[in-house]
Amino acid sequence: MSSGFLSADQISKLFDRASEGNLPVEADVVGGAAGPAGRRNRWLRTVDFTRPSKFSTDQERRLRRALDAFCNTVTTRLVAEHRLSIELEVIDVQQLTWTNAFGALPDGSVFGTLATAPHEGRMLLTAQVPLLVHALERLMGGSTDEPVKERALTDIDLMLVRRLLSTLVDALSAVWFDLSETTIALADVDTQPELVQVAQGSEPTLALTMEARLERVSSTVVLLVPYAAIAPVAGSFSRREDEHGVQDERTAAAVREGLGRVDVTLRAEVAETRLTLHEVLALKPGDVLRLEGGAGGDGSGEVVVFADRTPVLRGRGGRAGKKRAVQVLAPITPEAGS
């Protein structure tokens, strides 16, 4: 159409293509070039609302590192408490809305709702039924040589699953507390997705997927972290590694006491001079070097006392009996020494 508007038939075709996921791709506009009929093209930017950006890159990185630490420690705990050699490894981290993250969970999963304290947050830990059935068979003394048949979980199975998930959550809570001084507890276990109520559909959610390996079975364990669950302590997941909180006076006193027993060599520098490497190589016995500043060995000039290469004191040279000595005049502050 010469007017530049789409006809009803063209609009219908566009909707059909969109429903099939076949969206048209607009060519980039360079420098705001004029379009057809002399009209200026509009700047267009595609926005994917299924990919929120509420979690910063630093927060994603720290949460993944926390989950890596959890994976490294939980294996030992499972072997000690349940005689289960389950290996976990983080394989993917995505930021989605809650609806999309929850909808992407594998079918046939068990949902463990997690509660954070002291802030009332909610998270979700899921594991697939085949992995849990295999683990339960081993817990009840099943043979490792016989393949495990998939089956529905009974009420007794769910009690054992709750205990197994509690072990995972306790290990995760220890890592979480180190980061944000908050704890995590297993609040509920469900097998029906309709019963899971954790976050609003549009809530930005970080989906952390782990691969779980138990003998010949490989499955996935997913942790969904809505932003609302970490919002009260979001700064704890984004501060720099070298930042620290309130100083512990007892720890500081112990550090000072320990450092106070370290031997330090002091040297007094009367004066200095600077030479080029050529001048140093040209020195011969009997040459006299002129120092910058007055000599303080006879008490007429000021000397600087160094601890290693750091100037710490100003003093005056002299003697104490038959030995040379330095009388301290004043400390050197960092500003004065710079």
The pLDDT of residue 144 is 57
Secondary structure percentages of the chain, helix, strand, coil, to 5: 35, 25, 40
pTM of the model: 0.58
24, pLDDT greater than 80: no
Mean of the per-residue pLDDT values for the chain?
80
Residue 268 in tokens? 């007094």
The pLDDT of residue 115 is 94
The Cα 207–Cα 199 span in angstroms is: 13
pLDDT in tens, 66-108: 999 999 888 888 888 878 888 899 999 999 999 999 999 988 8
284, pLDDT greater than 70: yes
When pLDDT is cut at 50, 70 and 90, the band that residue 2 belongs to is: very low
pLDDT in tens, 201-258: 889 999 999 999 888 788 999 999 999 999 888 888 876 544 445 566 888 888 888 8
The pLDDT of residue 125 is 95
Lowest-confidence pick of 24-38, 60-74, 268-282: 24-38
Residue 182 in tokens? 């908050």
Q: Measuring CA to CA, which residue among 219, 208, 218, 211 is closest to residue 176?
A: 208
In 109-216, DSSP assigns E strands to: 109-117, 121-128, 183-190, 204-214
pLDDT in tens, 313-322: 888 888 888 8
Angle 224-228-229 from CA coordinates, rounded to 5°: 60
